[in-house]
Amino acid sequence: QVQPSTDNIHHNFDYLMAKRQQTVDMSNHLTTPPESSCEASVPPLLTDEASITPRPTAGKKPSLQVQRIIQFLGPRRTIPVPDVLDQKAFHLSSLDELFGALQLNSSLWGYFQDKVSYDYSSRTQQFVVRMHSLLHECCVSNLEFEIRLQLKQYQEDGNRESQAFAKLIQSSASKDLKFPPDDDGHVNVHCPDISFMHWWAKWPGVIIEVAYSQSPKKLDRLAWSYIINSNGGIQVVVGLDLDYSNKRASLIVWRSVITTGVNGIDTLKCVKTIHQEFVDSDGKILAADEKQGLHLQLHDFGLIEPVLSNPHALLEEIFISYRALGEMTILARQNVAENQANARDPVLRPGTIKEARPLSPGADITADDEGIWEAREAWDDEESNERDPDYTE
CA distance linking residue 2 with residue 371, whole number of Å: 57
**Spatial CB neighbours of 110, under 8 Å, sequence gap ≥ 6:** 27, 31, 32
- Identify the bridge partners of residue 267 per DSSP, sorted by sequence position: 259
pLDDT band of residue 334 (cuts 50, 70, 90) is confident
Between CA 207 and CA 171 the distance in angstroms is: 10
Segment 291-320 shows an average pLDDT of 90
| CA dist., res. 205 & res. 304, Å (int) | 10
Distance of alpha carbon 225 from alpha carbon 234, whole angstroms: 10
> Looking at residue 377, what is its pLDDT?
56
What is the predicted pLDDT for the residue at 198? 94
- Supply the pLDDT for residue 13: 52
* pLDDT tens-digit readout, 87-137: 789 999 999 999 999 998 888 898 888 888 889 999 899 999 887 778 888
Identity of residue 311: P
Q: Report pLDDT for 90.
A: 94
CB within 8 A of 165, min separation 6: which ones?
154, 198, 298, 301, 302, 306, 314
Q: How far is residue 212's CA from residue 31's CA, in Å, rounded to a whole number?
A: 32
Least confident of 47-61, 123-137, 183-197, 333-347: 47-61
Nearest to 282 by CA among 317, 249, 321: 249
pLDDT > 90 in the chain, percent:
40
Average the pLDDT over 11-19 and give the result.
Answer: 53
- Whole-number mean pLDDT of the chain? 79
For the segment 277-281, the average pLDDT, to the nearest whole number, is 93
In this structure, the number of other CB atoms found within 10 A of the CB of residue 81 comes to 18
The burial class, CB within 10 Å (0-12 / 13-18 / 19+), for 325 is: buried
Minimum mean pLDDT range among 28-37, 306-315, 329-338: 28-37
Q: Tell me the pTM.
A: 0.72
Number of neighbouring beta carbons within 10 Å of residue 262: 5
Residue from 201, 211, 262 nearest 232 by CA: 201
Is 14 exposed, middle or buried, given 0-12, 13-18 or 19+ CB atoms closer than 10 A?
exposed
Task: Enumerate helices (H) and strands (E) in the chain, giving the number of each.
Answer: 11, 13
Give the count of beta carbons closer than 10 Å to the beta carbon of residue 142.
Answer: 25
350 or 46: whose pLDDT is higher?
350
Q: Is the dihedral of CA 184, 190, 194, 198 positive or negative?
A: positive
Region 302-328: what's the mean pLDDT? Answer: 90
Residue-level pLDDT at 87 = 76
Q: What are the beta bridge partners of residue 297?
A: 317
pLDDT digits (tens, 9 = 90+) for 36-94: 333 333 333 334 444 444 445 555 788 999 999 999 888 887 776 665 566 789 999 99
Q: Which of 11-25, 76-90, 172-186 has the highest mean pLDDT?
A: 172-186
Say what the pLDDT of residue 14 is: 57
List, in order, residues 6 or more apart from 237 with CB less than 8 Å away: 206, 207, 208, 209, 222, 223, 226, 227, 253, 254, 255, 270
- Tell which wins on pLDDT, 348 or 131: 348
Rounded CA separation 268/15 (Å): 40
Greater pLDDT, 375 or 336: 336
pLDDT at 33 exceeding the cut of 70: no
Q: Is residue 315 predicted with pLDDT exceeding 60?
A: yes
